[in-house]
Amino acid sequence: MDGSLRRSRMVSFRLSPEEYARLQAVCSSQGIRSLSDLARTAMQRLIEHPSDEIGELKTQMKSLASELERISKVLESKGRA
């Protein structure tokens, strides 16, 4: 997206002091001029590649849920014995 485009909508959210400090440090270390630019870039990447990390996390969560279910069944069967 062209940085010269006029932006007319605002999105707002609250951060803890620690979150704010960490994000400011990221901006500083990456040469990003503002938290707004950082947030805008992060959201654009999420929109452009929604399934990359989220899909991987969903797969891992399903795997963990299956493993927990398996462990639960093993423990239940041992408790009955």
pLDDT score at 60: 92
pLDDT score at 65: 95
Higher-confidence residue of 48 and 69: namely 69
Taking the C-alpha atoms of residue 7 and residue 3, their distance in angstroms, rounded to an integer, is 9
With beta carbons less than 8 A apart as the criterion, state whether 34 and 27 touch: yes
pTM here?
A: 0.52
| 18 and 38 together in one domain | yes
In a domain, 1, yes or no: no
| 58 and 42 together in one domain | no
Q: What is the DSSP string of 44-67?
A: HHHHHSTTHHHHHHHHHHHHHHHH
What percentage of the chain carries pLDDT values higher than 70?
A: 90
Q: Could you read off the pLDDT of 39-61 as tens digits, one per residue?
A: 999 888 888 876 667 778 888 99
CB contact set of 20 (below 8 Å; sequence gap of 6+) = 35
Instruction: Taking residues 63-78, report their average pLDDT.
Output: 92
With beta carbons less than 8 A apart as the criterion, state whether 80 and 72 touch: no
In a domain, 8, yes or no: no
In a domain, 39, yes or no: yes
In a domain, 5, yes or no: no
